[in-house]
Amino acid sequence: MLIADVRVFRVEGVMEHDGEFWEERLVRPIDIYPEHKAEGAGWIEQIAPGKYRNIAHFVEIVADSGHIGIGGPMPHEQAYIVASQLKPLLIGHDPLATERIWDRMYRYMVHGRKGVAMMAMSVVDCALWDLKGRWADAPVYTLLGGPTRTSIPAYASMLGYSLDPELVQERAQAAVSEGYGAMKWFFRDGPVDGIAGAARNMRLVRTLRESVGPDVDIMLDAWMSWDVPYTIQMAARMEEYQPRWLEEPVLPDKIAQYAEIRRTVRIPISGGEHEYTRWGLKQLMDAGACDVLQPDIYWAGGISEMMKICALASAYDLPVIPHGHSVPATAHLIAAWPETTCPLLEYLVKWNEIHQFFLKHPLKPVHGMVVLPTRPGLSMELDEAKIEKRSEVSF
């Protein structure tokens, strides 16, 4: 069996949502500049009240046997790399030889060890695993050595929700009523916002704990936008509210600062969402920088590379709770590992309405649990009824 074709295509559809979809965004490193601090969350175009235009790119890898594998969604910059640089490395090669293909892509794209190029490689790798599962007529987790369980607990990741205290209370309590035993919220302020910003951040933490009680885990995400002194100060103030972790307090390349924070504070520190490959994550492990590792399966190298990252993490007794860009691929990966290595699945409540919009079989938590699908591959079939426009992309 050989790869006969690689098709990259763009799809458009209209997603319906009552009210404003993005109510708030998270703090960002670039917010130290006032013109960026004032920017809203412009991640999806609203075309009418309650209607949003959803645009995504997917890759379809076609074998000469007729088996296909689908990867995505991805933005146009990754689609460009797949169509213009990775496609020639795939045509005519064995799609089941995922290790060989990954290594060839990595060696060819040596200037893309991190960032957009590695993200594009990740999409291709996931598409190859989808194809391999369809060829074997088995869920991908079976090919990875699983399942270790039939369902996975998910936590609600509340990106995009208003930070108004009354709404925070309402949404947090609603998440608990839906069965979630843990949830993550995102700070909007950082060191440049001074005393008032610190007070708003603490208001969020306090409101969450008062809203959900002592038995629900809360996690807080600083999205790379704090610094060491600010994090140490804020962690001391947050300690009484017992967050399960504080996420990405500093920029990802500041590994020594991560380690300094972890040694100093008494709240667990998580990170690695914006790190890539086994080599990048091993740096965090060697430095003792994190209590929880969060690489993204669609960014850090795909399923092939995430299996290596998880194996390394298990040697360091560190849990891997992947960033939740792709729920289907992430669920299959987690299912292949014991709970001690991969205990939780992140479900980005709003983002995954977008990311799974075009899927025929979106994977969503029920009563706080994700039940493993039994369909072959990664369950990446597209719902043609959701696609209003489809065009093949070539560069």
pLDDT tens, residue order, the chain (395 aa): 999 999 999 999 999 999 899 999 999 999 999 999 999 887 899 999 999 999 999 999 999 999 999 999 999 999 999 999 999 999 999 999 999 999 999 999 999 999 999 999 999 999 999 999 999 999 999 999 999 999 999 999 999 999 999 999 999 999 999 999 999 999 999 999 999 999 999 999 999 999 999 999 999 999 999 999 999 999 999 999 999 999 999 999 999 999 999 999 999 999 999 999 999 999 999 999 999 999 999 999 999 999 999 999 999 999 999 999 899 999 999 999 999 999 999 999 999 999 999 999 999 999 999 999 999 999 999 999 999 999 998 87
Active site residue 332: no
**Which residue in the list 67, 274, 323, 355 is annotated as catalytic?**
323
- Cα 248 to its chain centre, rounded Å, is 14
pLDDT at 330: 98
- pLDDT for position 395: 75
**Phi, psi for 137 (deg, rounded to 5):** 55, 45
Distance CA 211, CA 169 (A): 5
Does residue 110 contact residue 348 with C-beta atoms inside 8 Å? no
C-beta neighbour count of 10 within 10 angstroms = 15
Annotate 78-142 with DSSP letters as a single string: HHHHIIIIIHHHHTTS-TT-HHHHHHHHHHHTGGGSSSHHHHHHHHHHHHHHHHHHHHHTSBHHH
Helix or strand (DSSP H, E) at 183: strand 182-186
Torsions phi, psi of 8, nearest 5?
Answer: -110, 130
- Domains of the chain are 3-137+384-393 (3.30.390.10), 142-371 (3.20.20.120)
- Predicted TM-score (pTM) of this structure: 0.97
Given this model, what pLDDT does residue 43 score? 83
